[in-house]
Amino acid sequence: MVLNQLSDQVTLRHGAKLRSRLVMSPMQTLSGLKGGFVSDDTIQYYSARSQAATMLITEFHYVSANGGPAYVPGYPEQLGAYSDEHIDGLKRTASALKKDGNKAILQIHHAGRAAIGRYINGKDVVAPSAIDFSFLNYPVRELTLEEIEAIILDFGQATRRAIEAGFDGVEIHGANHYLIQQFFSKLSNLRTDKWGGSLENRMAFPLAIVKEVKRVVEELAPETFIIGYRISPEEVHGENIGYSYKESIKLIQEVDKCELDYIHLSLATGYNSKPVNQEKTYAQLFKEKLDSKTKLLIVGGIFGEESAKDAVENYTDLIAIARGTMIDPQFGKKILEGNGKAILHEISPISVSYSHLTDGLLEAFSREDSAGFSPLPGAESIRYFHTGKYDLL
């Protein structure tokens, strides 16, 4: 018997009601102005996606001045939520996403060592430990104890701004090798103080952020305000292991004690992928350890209705779609109207204007190397749109 359907209404732990199980995954829009402010291009992109799914997560917004911008040098910047001056722009984003009655979630983030924009602007780049990584061509500095405490509070302040701007929730970005993951990883965190060493100490930074966000939400937000936490289930580079999925399940069990609404697994290898030598998928392994009131959200490689259905029928409560909603901004609407077969699976010269990409995304995805992102299906057909205007020599 099939338990979950894409069109099911879902009530989250704190009472927020989602109209379906479909979620738009967070994606950098390459559209910010200097300082991380939204542009008109940001707003047209989000406005076009107000029906891409019934919960819509923004791109990562950095919460501290030393937390970004990350990627892609030369291109319009990553967005920020690190000062009250960002609130007006955040309001515009929230209302563009919410205009058709769907939920808008602000993804909050600190890039740590990946804040390449800091280096380009002649500022120091901070990380748990000052490690000379071969993949970085700039130095990083170890965070002081005071700076760590300040960043934790910054996640709370960004949450306050999200509340003031009218978002329905926040997602804490603990995945994809950014600062929160850097603290959790044995490879990136060599600290010998209370923030490093044992598994318990490496969990301390992520948990302190969750608790601070929760504190602000309890104080300032409506009761139904949503809190999610995104994690990469393991960090394995050949012989080098930052953390195993068993360790990240332990972290998530601790996070779960704070009664979040959902846990979001970032599955670069696909929504139904498995750890090496395991029968069960990451989704199944995490789901069986979660409190039944916490929803599981997964992502990875969904470009049409069939795979989205497979995900919710077999593995998860909620399914996120990233590049699929970049190609087809009406991804969710089409499914919910019974027209899933009409979803576009590839970008093409004719459909580019329908996709409403930002200028920066069109430049990035028409490049041979997709500017380092996973390629868009069909991208070879739009190479001639590439002008190179943002490419650094």
The residues binding ligand FMN (CB under 6 A) are 25-28, 59-60, 107, 173, 175-176, 230, 266, 299-302, 321-324, 373-374
How far, rounded to the nearest angstrom, does the alpha carbon of residue 40 sit from its chain's CA centroid? 22
Please state whether 104 falls in left (phi above 0), alpha (psi between -120 and 50) or beta.
beta
Q: How far is the CB of 278 from ligand FMN (least distance, A)?
A: 20
Under DSSP, the state recorded for 261 is: S
Q: With respect to ligand FMN, which residue has the nearer C-beta, 109 or 161? A: 109
**Tokens matching residue 115:** 């804040």
In the complex with ligand FMN, which residue's Cβ is closer, 195 or 303? Answer: 303
CA dihedral 17, 307, 99, 55 (to 10 degrees): 40
Q: Which of 202/323 has CB closer to ligand FMN?
A: 323
Name the CA radius of gyration of the chain, rounded.
20
- What residue has token string 């991208």? 379
Q: Give the span between the Cα atoms of 279 and 133, in whole angstroms.
A: 34
Least distance in Å: CB of 326 to ligand FMN? 7
Shortest spacing between CB 370 and ligand FMN, in angstroms = 8
Comparing CB distances to ligand FMN, the nearer of 220 and 236 is 236
Residue type, position 18, single letter: L
Least distance in Å: CB of 329 to ligand FMN? 14
Query: Strands, DSSP E only, in 80-189?
Result: 103-109, 126-127, 141-142, 169-174
Q: Which two tokens stand for residue 106?
A: 């602000």
Nearer to ligand FMN, 196 or 304 (CB): 304
Measured over all CA atoms, what is the biggest interatomic distance in the chain, rounded to whole angstroms? Answer: 59
- Which stretches of 220-374 are assigned E, i.e. beta strand? 226-231, 235-237, 240-243, 262-265, 295-299, 318-321
The active-site residue out of 62, 71, 178, 262 is 178
Residue 12 CB partners (closer than 8 Å, separation 6+): 18, 224, 226, 261, 262, 295
Beta bridge partners of 23: 55, 320
Q: Is there a cis peptide before residue 72, judged by omega within 30 degrees of 0?
A: yes
Element (H, E) at 22: strand 22-24
- 77 Cβ partners below 8 Å, 6+ apart? 32, 33, 34, 35, 36, 69, 117
Q: Using the minimum distance from each CB to ligand FMN, give the nearer residue, 196 or 209.
A: 209
User: Taking the complex as a whole, how short is the minimal distance between the CB of residue 315 and ligand FMN, in angstroms?
Assistant: 15
Minimal distance, residue 271 CB to ligand FMN, in Å: 8
Least separation in angstroms between CB 110 and ligand FMN = 12
**Residue 262 bears catalytic tag:** no
Residue nearer to ligand FMN on the CB measure, 283 or 321: 321
Rounded Cα gap, residues 70 and 99, in angstroms: 29
- Catalytic residue numbers read 178
